[in-house]
Amino acid sequence: MVHFNNYINGNWEKSESNEKYESINPVDQSVVGSVDQSTINDLDKAVESAKSASLAWKKLSGAARGQYLYKAADVLEENLEDVAKLMTLEMGKTYPEAKGETARGVAILRYYAGEGMREEGDVIPSTDPDAFMYTKRSPLGVVGVITPWNFPVAIPIWKMAPALIYGNTVVFKPALEASVTAAKVFECLHEAEFPKGVLNMVNGDGAVIGERITENPDINGITFTGSDKVGKVVGQTALGRGAKYQLEMGGKNPVIVTKDADIDKAVEATISGGLRSTGQKCTATSRVIIDASIYDSFKEKLVEKVKDIKVGDGMQEDTWMGPCVSEKQLNTVLSYIDIGKKEGATLIHGGERITSSGLENGFFVQPTIFEDVNSAMTIAQEEIFGPVLALIKVKDLEEGIKIANDVEFGLSASIFTTNIQNMLTFIDDMEAGLVRVNAESAGVELQAPFGGMKKSSSHSREQGQAAKEFFTSIKTVFVKG
C-alpha cells in the first residue's frame, strides 16, 4: 500500500497531525493507499512556501516556465499507465477512460507550456503623440486550487498548468476520495524539478483545509470545482476578503432529440454522455428531451442498448461502467431513484444496487432510466451525479428548449437534428456555456473555453487562452519621454 505525505517547498513532509486518510477501492472496499491528514498549520506552511517562491517564479520568462511544464508532461507520459491504474483502483473509472484522462493531462501541460511563448498584451494608441501605451499581464501571486474526485488528473492539471505558466505559485487541495491519485501526479511534478515552493499539496477535509484556503490572506486567487453548495461558501469567503475566485459547479445537462434526428446516433450519444464514468461528470447527460413523434422508437432502442452495458471492475477489459466512487455517493444516487418513484416517474430500467457475485462488496448501481418525467420533478431539477436518465416527451423544439432551460444550472447541452434552423435556434436560445450539435453533452476540448451559465459557475471560463483572464490581471502601461 502506497502512502504520501504533504508536498511542501519541494519536499514530502509529514503532517503535524500524525493522522492519515485511507482511500478505498469502490469495487471491493480494499485500501488503495493513504495520505496525511493535514492541519491548518500544514496549510499555512504551504502558503508561506508558495509566497516565498512567488517573486522568483514570476520573474522567469514565459518560455523558461514553459520548459518545466514540458518536462512535467514527459514525466507524466512515462508514468501514464501507473497513474491510470491507480485512478481506476481509487475511484472506479474504467481503465481505458483513466488512460484517456491521463493522456489529456499530458496534452494540457504541453498546451500551456506553449502558452509561455505567446503575446501577453496589446499596444494601444494614445491621444498623446509623444507617448507609448500598452498592456501587460501580471500574475495574481499565490493561487489556491481545490478540485473534485471525478477527474483526479485532468481537472487539477487544467487549473495548475495555466496558473503556473502565467507566473503564479500553487497550493493544491484535492478531494480526499482521489487524493492518492493526485499525490501520484505530484510525484511526477516533483520529478520535473520545479523550483522549491512553486508547487505545494496538502490533503484534508474540505471543511478544514478547504476553508482555510479561502480564508488565508496570502492566497490571492482561488479556483474551485465542486458542488454549488460548497462553491457558494468559497465565493462568499473569497469576496469578503477581496480575493479573486473562480467557481465551476453543478450541471443538469439536457440532450434534445428532434423528430428529424438520426435516432441511432442520438441513442449512442445519450448512453455515452449519460452513463460513462457512471454518470459522475459535471457535463453528463441527465435529461433526455424527445420529440413525441419519435419517442417510442428512441426509448425502445435506448433501453435495448442499455441492457447490454457491462457493469463491473473497471480493470476488466469488457467493463463499460464502473462503480460509484463511494458508499456515500451510491446512497445519494439510490435516494434520488427512490424520490423519482415517489414523485410519479416510471422506472423502465435499472434502479437497484448491484449485489451479484463478485460485486457484492462494491458500490455498484444499475444504469437507470425513468420516463413519464416532468420538469417539476426532483430528478429533472437536481444534479444526481450518477447513471440516471430522465426521459421527457415534448411536442416540438420550442417546448424542448423551454424545458431544457427550466433548471438553475446551465453547464452543457446538446441537440440531435439534421435541420439547420433547429441547430441555429438551439445555439441561440440554449442557456448553457457549452452547446454541442449532434454530439454528446459530455465533451470538453482543452484548447476551448469551458464554463457554465446561471448557477453552474461564477461566469469565468477555464481552459484554452481564456484561462489567462482568471490567472492574471491586466496592467496598463503609459510611457512618455
With a CB cutoff of 8 Å and minimum separation 6, the contacts of 449 are 461, 462, 463, 464, 466
77 carries an active-site annotation: no
Contact 196, 7 (CB under 8 A): no
* Cell 469488457 found at: 318
Alpha-carbon distance of 68 to 413, in angstroms, equals 36
What amino acid is encoded at 132 in this protein?
F
- Strands, E, within 306-427: which ranges? 346-349, 368-371, 388-394, 409-410, 412-416
C-alpha distances (whole Å) from 366 to each of 96, 250, 253, 358 are 20, 23, 20, 15
Alpha helices, H only, 276-319: 295-307
What amino acid is encoded at 164 in this protein?
L
Alpha-carbon distance of 256 to 261, in angstroms, equals 9
DSSP 309: P
Among the options 187, 248, 371, 462, which is catalytic?
248
With a CB cutoff of 8 Å and minimum separation 6, the contacts of 75 are 188, 189, 191, 192
Q: How far is CA 9 from the centre of its chain?
A: 27
- Strands, E, within 147-230: which ranges? 169-173, 199-201, 221-225
Contact 455, 408 (CB under 8 A): yes
Quickly count helices (H) and strands (E) in the chain.
Answer: 14, 22
Residue 286 CA neighbour count, 13 Å, CB half = 32
* Cell 498584451 found at: 121
Identify the CA nearest to 257 among candidates 249, 248, 269. 269
Give just the sign of the alpha carbon dihedral 30, 35, 39, 40: negative
Contact 261, 362 (CB under 8 A): no
What amino acid is encoded at 295 in this protein?
Y
β-pairing verdict for 2-4 and 453-454: unpaired
Active site (catalytic) residues: 248
